[in-house]
Amino acid sequence: MDRVSWRTQVLSNHLHRPSASAPLTANACVGFSPPELSERFEFDTKEMRKLLDLHNLEDRDWLFGLMRQSKLFNPREAGGRVFVSPDYNQSMEQQREMTMKRIEYLLDRGVFKGWLTEKGVEAELRKFALLEVTGIYDHSLSVKLGVHFFLWGGAILFFGTKRHHDKWLRDTENYAIKCCFAMSELGHGSNVRGIETVTTYDSKTGEFVINTPCESAQKYWIGGAANHATHTIVFSQLSISGNNQGVHAFIAQIRDGNGNICPNIRIADCGHKIGLNGVDNGRLWFDNVRIPRENLLNSVADVSPEGKYLSAIKDPDQRFAAFLAPLTSGRVTIAASAIYTSKISLAIAIRYSLTRRAFSVTPNGPEVLLLDYPSHQQRLLPLLAKTYAMTFAANYLKMIYVERTPESSKTIHVVSSAFKATLTWHNMRTLQECREACGGQGLKTENRIGNLKGEYDVQSTFEGDNNVLMQQVSKALLAEFIGAQKRSKPFKALGLEHMNTPCPVIPSQLTSSTLQSIQFQMDAFCLRERDLLNRFAMEVSQRQKQGESKEYSFLLSYQLAEDLGRAFSDRTILQTFINVEATVPAGSLKSVLATLRTMYALICLEEDAAFLRYGYLSADNIAAVRKEVSRLCRELRPHALALVSSFGIPDAFLSPIAFNWIESNSWSSVQQH
């Protein structure tokens, strides 16, 4: 019987009264059965977690334990388990105070020891790991820490010199001062070069004078400024003897030790937000605020006591780039935290889909698990494969950042811009799909996913608007292309070495075996990237020949720029996956990684219209890809529980519907509360 006929029969049975010979019988009540009883684990999830978390697993687990131990982290019982997550029903003011109390609790237990005063790769990786764990609990907590340690602390480290390090770093690490980072303004966000705050130098007193000349120059969205911060880094135009020397960074005190606002400083609250209400975002005005000359962060440029501007970097563009280069750490941490949030939502949604049933496919047959529906597999399993791929990409980004050299700064800037945009966009899409996949339960605050959407939406625009960042990626690729042509030398940066080899040829007929091969996958991704880069360069050049400026030509070619940015990001992510896979010996772990890698590659082929638009793949090719994706969903289905268990996120940091959702919603649970 085909499905249409069967559904017609089912509806007919509903509409007609049953005969006396066919009495109604009650269905058995829906029960809960832990998925671990029926789902098999064919690979070592502990080994998989080592690949995913990469570093500091013991430190991560230690911090998870610290948070589970304290009532400050809002433990609550549901379904016989204890869960920890913020209470989003609290007022904005209460959430902010709880964030500070949690920071104080972690400070007292040595969590932040060495975050600014210890140097080296191991110290940086430990800091990254612990920050990631705080974000798994609460985005407000990790953002508040990120502003204090990575933005303010990073500015002191990288923009400052020994005098600043000696004076400020230990006090920052110990929270003797509470700090924020005043870059964004009401009138300028991504365009840092255009900020309007002005600082002049008074040689008579040896002081800088910071001023907010107009309302659009007010500092805006400054995390920590509204309630808690005592000090801030102020980004401002520096005017010396009437000459604008560009954007520089200064230290200014905005509150005293008792929390009183300092003279000539005005502070207002940014108000309630769709998320991150545990962060006290504020607005700042400076009314000719005087600070010592020594408060200029002077690693790039300085001003002598007499008022002479001094810098070893004479070119203003290079000087501006030197000021912004150290801010890359913000994009690194955002990319990593976005992927951990995707892991939370997928772990919850997949665990729920392995225990929740709906409808039967045979008359009077048992209802079917959600994840046994091909459509449900198609919703979640490609996102799971992408999350694995982007986890390896985020790890690669962290490693090139902590092992950075002056020569690698361009690569770090481009890759961090691409990954920050790609990974945060992926996170928001994943959160929405997982919310819907959980049905009505996904709306409940206690089940986390709905709230995470509001909490993480901001990642698409802070620390650089995603669309602007992707344009920067395309600009950098264009510059490499033009440079290679002018020098008549091979490409040797940003992974573009593949352009030195003959153009890949895609087979006209794509078999399942071909689609699974690394060679085909890289060929398809490289073909797209090289062709888009050629098209982009040609279009920009043609517009310039028609009289347009280089900048305006670039802006008019935004469609190709967007396609190129995506192509670069996808290809780089795939390469990181291949590199990780190559480190794993033959066996079940390597086998499932290969399936995930193929799913990642093919879903990218299916979702990006560029492959059809520019003729890299034929309509028949895309049909073959689509068919293979469906087959891969069936292949990954038996591994779903093992794959989300490998994330290493403790049960307490998930939600009730990830476990016994019947018991957690029972009448006895109502009586207990």
| Residues acting as catalytic residues | 463
Name 310's Cβ contacts closer than 8 Å, sequence gap at least 6: 301, 302, 303, 304
Half-sphere CA count of 541, side-chain side, radius 13 A = 11
Which residue ranges make up the annotated binding site for FAD?
A: 223
- 351-384: string of b/e by CB count within 10 Å (b at 16+)? bbbbbbeeeeeeeeeeeebbbeeeebbebbbbbb
Single out the residue of 419, 438, 418 nearest to residue 344, CA to CA: 438
What DSSP string runs through 617-638?
S-HHHHHHHHHHHHHHHHHHGG
Q: Angle, to 10 degrees, between the axis of helix 374-402 and the axis of helix 121-137?
A: 150
**Cα–Cα–Cα angle for 338, 340, 344, rounded to 5 degrees:** 115
Q: Which two tokens stand for residue 135?
A: 């974000």
Q: First-to-last CA distance in the chain?
A: 49
The H helix count followed by the E strand count for the chain is 24, 15
Single out the residue of 228, 240, 258 nearest to residue 199, CA to CA: 240
On whether the CB atoms of residues 23 and 17 are closer than 8 A, the answer is: no
* Percentage helix, strand, coil for the chain under 3-state DSSP, each rounded to 5: 60, 10, 30
Q: Which two tokens stand for residue 343?
A: 């892991």
The burial class, CB within 10 Å (0-12 / 13-18 / 19+), for 18 is: exposed
Which residue ranges make up the annotated binding site?
A: 223
Distance of CA 351 to the CA centre of its chain: 23
> What is the amino acid identity at position 64?
F
207: β partners? 202, 292
Name 597's Cβ contacts closer than 8 Å, sequence gap at least 6: 385, 389, 518, 521, 574, 577, 578, 581
